[in-house]
Amino acid sequence: MSELFKLCIPIILKNEGGYINDSDDPGGKTKYGISQKNYLDIDIENLTEIQAKMFYDVDYWTPMKLERIKDKNLILQIFDMAVNIYHTRAIRILQRLVGTKTDGIMGPMTLAVVNNELDKGRDLFSEYKLERIRFYIYRVKIRKANKKYLYGWINRVLNTNF
């Protein structure tokens, strides 16, 4: 696990909390943000924090290539969004912001454009946070049961930084 991952993961785990079995959550049973829906063969109730970190490193962090982005707070926002809505959606939000192909893959073109925009002084961190909030409002509009999560989601966005 990289040093930057090690800096981010405590914030992610704090945001996600422990074991939850909320009937309104489409992910089903969840612990440390790891959902039964995405990990059918895992005993979620007995999942350890070490196992959760491993899943985040292998299934989220590594494929997203986040360490190649020049802004640590932006990295943390993207990682946190990925944990909440899956990494391809989190990347597509970034790609829409910078105008690259929205394929959900953090490829060389997306990375180059993101870092170029950061080098020019563009505040992608704030823009990404706003897009996250817009996404959550949209989620409430299409699924009314999500309304109970909206305040927590917005609070999460506003407080996820170093």
What are the DSSP calls for 58-94, one per residue? IIIIHHHTGGGSS-HHHHHHHHHHHHHH-HHHHHHHH
> What's the pLDDT tens digit per position in 28-45?
899 999 999 989 999 999
Confidence of residue 1 (pLDDT cuts 50, 70, 90): confident
CATH number at residue 106: 1.20.141.10
Is the CA virtual torsion 74, 92, 86, 147 positive or negative?
positive
Residue of 60, 58, 103 whose CA lies nearest to 80: 60
Confidence of residue 26 (pLDDT cuts 50, 70, 90): confident
| 147 DSSP 8-state letter | H
Report pTM: 0.94
Instruction: Determine what percent of the chain is predicted with pLDDT higher than 90.
Output: 91
Confidence at residue 107, expressed as pLDDT on a 0 to 100 scale:
96
Domain extent at residue 33: 3-159
Q: Any idea which residue has 């914030």 for tokens?
A: 11
The number of folded domains in the chain is 1
Residue of 129, 156, 157, 154 whose CA lies nearest to 140: 154
Confidence at residue 23, expressed as pLDDT on a 0 to 100 scale:
86
Task: List the end-to-end C-alpha distance of the chain, in Å, as a whole number.
Answer: 19
> What's the pLDDT tens digit per position in 77-118?
999 999 999 899 999 999 999 999 999 999 999 999 999 999
